[in-house]
Amino acid sequence: MKKTILITTSLLSLFGCNGKETTTTTVVAKDAIALVEYKEEYKEELLEIAFEDPNLFFPGRIAMPEGMLEQVDAANKQELIDGFSNPLKYTKVLVDNALGKPVGFTCYLKTREQSLESTKNMLAEKQPSLKMTDEQILQIHPQLKLTDVECKDYILIESVIVSREYRGNGYGRMLIKNIVEECKQKWPNINMIKLMVSKDNTVACKLYESEGFTVSKDGLHFPPQLLQMLKTTQYEKNIR
């Protein structure tokens, strides 16, 4: 059970564009919103924004048993905090200039596809008593490439979220476009951006699709069985 929880919460910490329509929206001109680098002073307010609608922001949470939610939310919160201070991750914050407060954020990083070769080495090192054939590993993780040489770098968007009060102004789209442009500049040799979102978050799905993201057919970041169980869809976009 512990292993299952760890796998699940690692997925739950990943992103969803929090885009459900609400009845109260603050209309703010785009030039009144600044996109800035993350600062430690924003941490608590960003956590509050993330947990306004946790079933939307954390894909798979809605599929969790009620008795696990407290543990899952604690893990999600800690992973967000760790991500904010991780130098390998890039966190941008939307700030309402008039009020001087954050109203959304995004986080992304460069990562790499996984292979059967590296997975076997990892299992041999960390769980030497666990004997699995290549076929058994691939049955559980069909997304794995066979060798490290076949693996490619890609960009993983972990979070795109706008505070409930500020949705409907195009800020989610602004964040996505900014990520794409930054990635093109930072990593000119990387072609692919991937993200995951709850299937129930139809507003977010439509937004990603309108920005050229399509449902991944292969090269999934997580096993397709896990994504299906957690009612989560992976999207990808070729940016070259």
Q: What is the CA radius of gyration of the chain?
A: 18
**CA torsion 139→144→150→153, rounded to 10°?**
170
Regions of the chain where pLDDT drops below 50:
1-28
pLDDT at 32: 87
Give tens-digit pLDDT for 140-168. 888 889 999 999 999 999 999 999 999 99
Smallest CA-to-CA distance from 137 within 151, 123, 153 is with 123
Structure tokens at 4: 């299952």
pLDDT at 29: 55
pTM of the model: 0.82
What region, left, alpha or beta, does residue 112 occupy, with left being phi > 0 and alpha being psi -120 to 50 degrees? Answer: beta
Query: Between the CA of residue 75 and those of 7, 42, 45, 56, 184, what are the distances in Å?
Result: 11, 20, 18, 16, 32
Cα 4 from Cα 219, distance rounded (Å): 22
Residue position matching structure tokens 């739950």: 12
pLDDT at 220: 65
Helical pair 202-210 and 171-186, crossing angle rounded to 10 deg? 50
E strand or H helix at 119, and its extent? helix 116-126
* Contact yes or no for 144/137 (Cβ under 8 A): yes
Cα 115 from Cα 99, distance rounded (Å): 47
pLDDT at 141: 83
pLDDT at 208: 96
* Contact yes or no for 192/213 (Cβ under 8 A): no
Smallest CA-to-CA distance from 49 within 9, 23, 84 is with 84
What's the CATH number for 2-113+152-238? 3.40.630.30
